[in-house]
Structure 1
C-alpha cells in the first residue's frame, strides 16, 4: 500500500472531528446491536423497522420491494426478514387497497412498544446531553449533522456508481 492511502482528510475537515463522527457511528452501532440482542432482533430487523417508520411517517406505502432496495437485500433475504418480523409480531402484511396484488408492510403496536423500550435509555442519555446546549448551539449542530448525513449519502452514491474514491489532484 502506498503512503497515498494513508493521507489525512483535507484541512477543511479537521481530523479530530472526523474521528469523533466515526466514534459516534461506532458507538451507535454498538448500542443498536446490544439493544436489539436483548429482544432477539438483528440490526437488519431494526433497520427494516426504521425504514418502515420513516416511509409511513411520510405517508408512503412500504412494500417488500421498498425494503429490499433501501436495505440492499436480495429477494430471498427480504422475504426471510419480513417473515422474521411477522413471526415476532413486529410487522403485518396487508394488501394495498388500490392494488390488491401489492403487499404493504405495517408496524404493529408491539413494534412501537419494543422500539420504545430498546431506545429509551439512548433517548434519555442523549436528551440529558443535549440539555447542556443552548437552542442556538443545537441549531448549529443540527445544520452540521444534516450536512454530514448529506455528505455521507453523496459518498455512498459515488462509491456505488464506481466514481473516484479519493479527491483528484488540487486544481
Structure 2
C-alpha cells in the first residue's frame, strides 16, 4: 500500500513520460561528463548546438540569437562567446553592408571536438536503434516530434507573463 506524502505532487503518469524524464536526465549527465572532459560547460555545448542548427538552415547566428535561445543575459552571452572564441570553437565575423553586426561561426576545431565528444553516444544509440524495425522507428520519430513540440509549447506558456488570478 502506497503511503501518501503530504504536499507531494502527484507523480503518477504515463510510463513514457517518466522514461522521457529519465532520458533527459541521462542526456544531461552525458553532456556534463563529455563537456567536463573537454573543459567545456553545458552552456558552451548548447551554444555550439544552436549555432550548428542555425547554420544548417542557412540562418545568421548573432550574439542576440544565442542570448534569446539560451535565455542568457547580455553579459553572460558575452562571457560565453569569449570562452568559445578563446577555445578556438567560434569566430566572430562582420559581414554584409552593416559591419556593426557580429556573426558567429563554428570553426573546424569545433566540429572535430564535438564529433569526438559525441561519438560514443552516437555509437551506442545507433547500436540500440538496430533492434527496431523501420515502422517502429517511424512511430518513435512521430512520438518524439510530438513530445518536443509539446515541450516547446509548455516552455512558451511557462515563460509568458502570469495572467490575473482565477477568481474561483
TM-score (norm 2): 0.90
Name structure 1 gaps, 5 residues minimum.
165-171
For the residue of structure 1 that corresponds to 2:58, the secondary structure is coil
Aligned to 2:114: 115
Structure 1 match to 2:103: 104
Q: Which runs of 4+ in 1 moved over 6 A?
A: none
Would you say how many aligned residue pairs link Structure 1 and Structure 2? 159
The within-5 A match list for 1:57-96 is: 57-96=56-95
Secondary structure of 2:91 counterpart: strand
Deviations 1:33-83 (A, max 9, x none): 000011100000000000000001000000000000100111110000000
Task: Work out the CA distance in 2 between the residues paired with 1:98 and 1:144.
Answer: 44
Distance in 1, matches of 2:72 and 2:9, equals 32
- 2:135 is the counterpart of 1:136: yes
Residue 23 (str. 1) matches residue 22 (str. 2)? yes
Residue 8 of structure 1 and its aligned partner are, at CA, apart by 4.5
Q: Distance in 1 between matches of 2:161 and 2:143?
A: 27
Tell me: CA distance 1:142–1:163, structure 2 relative to 1, closer, same or farther (3 Å). Answer: farther
Find the residue that maps to 1:99 and give its secondary structure: coil
Q: If the length of structure 1 is used for normalisation, what is the TM-score?
A: 0.88
1:145/1:57 CA distance change after superposition, 3 Å: same
Hey, what does 1:127 align to over in structure 2? 126
RMSD, aligned CA = 1.7
